[in-house]
Structure 1
Amino acid sequence: MQYDYLIVGAGLFGSVFAHEAAAAGKRCLVIDKRSHIAGNIYTEDVEGIAVHRYGAHIFHTNNKEVWDYVNRFATFNRYTNSPVANYKGELYNLPFNMNTFTKMWGVITPAEA
């Protein structure tokens, strides 16, 4: 069998490329060293619970076209990641920002930091 494209890796890029190429009438062969698609964002069902095999993943974009595209294949929840660190009972923003520097050292501007 002949293919137009050999795609190495079934992660996000390889999967999207293969899908779009096939939709354009191209023949694709996708190979991956893993036994599943989706690369590091692979999620498996374990007794009805979605388990992220390679750790939690958050997909984010402010590009409406990209958001609409990915929601054709799966339902994504709106989520804002707002991590904090607890150091000696005080909460600090992560990643560090001016609020963190203000709380830690009392500085107000980037120049002071």
Structure 2
Amino acid sequence: MSKDVHFSFEDLKVYQRALDFTDFVYSLTATFPREELYGLRSQFNRAAVSIALNTAEGSGNSDLQFNRFLQMADDSLRECITCSTIAHRRSFISSEENQKVREMLLEIFKMIKSLQKYLKSKKEK
């Protein structure tokens, strides 16, 4: 019988929310027009994935490095807002879907900023 392998970054709530968001974006972009397969659809998916990837990658580093990766996750979050706005303007997603994206990203944004504040406070001690 094998034991489940678990990594500490998987316990981070921001990481878990980023995975939930990625799942949501993949479902959302699956309905985009075929000609957007390598355009907005791909960009939106990659930006969503990047939030989780940067959170995971940075967590194993120093606090300073982790903060740098969290900033990259925040940058990807802003990219997702723009992708959602474009998708809504092009009528690929509804107003409600666009709002859901924004609500999910606001939650993740607040988590990232809280974690960055915590890391900064540790440094100042």
Q: TM-score range by the shorter chain?
A: under 0.3
Bigger relative contact order, structure 1 or 2, given CA contacts below 8 A and separation 6+?
Answer: 2
Q: Which has the higher helix share?
A: 2
**TM-score under structure 1 length normalisation:** 0.27
Choose 1 or 2 for highest CA Rg. Answer: 1
